[in-house]
Homo-oligomer: A and B are copies of this chain.
């Protein structure tokens, strides 16, 4: 069955998200199978991780290009992006957790497209004077969505409270005035 395979991937996404050094044994145990079974689906640990990242990157990319096509103002677009990403942000915190570590280099490539889309979005916001320019678009986008994932990973992750907080905080650091940030974040209560 690939039901087992999916369960392994699910559980691995979870474990590696909170501890990037979790071993095949831990993952197997958490998935309710034996270590040997995991190797039956993924020849090596790197294979597992790569598959995981490809999944995560694909979903993020889909959301990003989708939001991108909406063609609204940069700040409203960002808000929509957060709203769409929020439900899975906690799940995909692995995207941040695994950047450093043994496979850091191997993963950098996978994340390239996502980083690029994010940076483009912020850059367009800066060009239309919606976002501030105190930092280059590339770094600002990294920091902004880093903050979003950090909040998603914390205690507030349940409920809409977390989403609101993440939206407002990221908008603030992007240079959106507090009043407008709150107004934008309040649009979907």
Contact = CB atoms under 8 A, between A and B. Distances in A.
A83 interface: no
What's the number of copies of this chain in the assembled complex? Answer: 2
A168 to B, nearest CB: 5
A165 interface: yes
B139 A151 contact: yes
Q: Is the interface of A mostly helix, strand, loop or mixed?
A: helix
A178 B132 contact: yes
A156 B173 contact: no
Contact of A135 (B21, B139, B142, B169): B169
Interface in A108-136: 132, 134-135
A156 B139 contact: yes
Interface residues of A, number: 31
Interface string A19-30: 111000000000
A134 B164 contact: yes
26 contacts: A19-B100, A20-B100, A21-B21, A97-B100, A132-B172, A132-B178, A134-B168, A134-B169, A135-B151, A135-B156, A135-B169, A139-B154, A139-B156, A140-B169, A143-B147, A143-B150, A143-B151, A143-B169, A146-B150, A147-B147, A147-B173, A172-B172, A172-B173, A173-B173, A175-B178, A177-B178
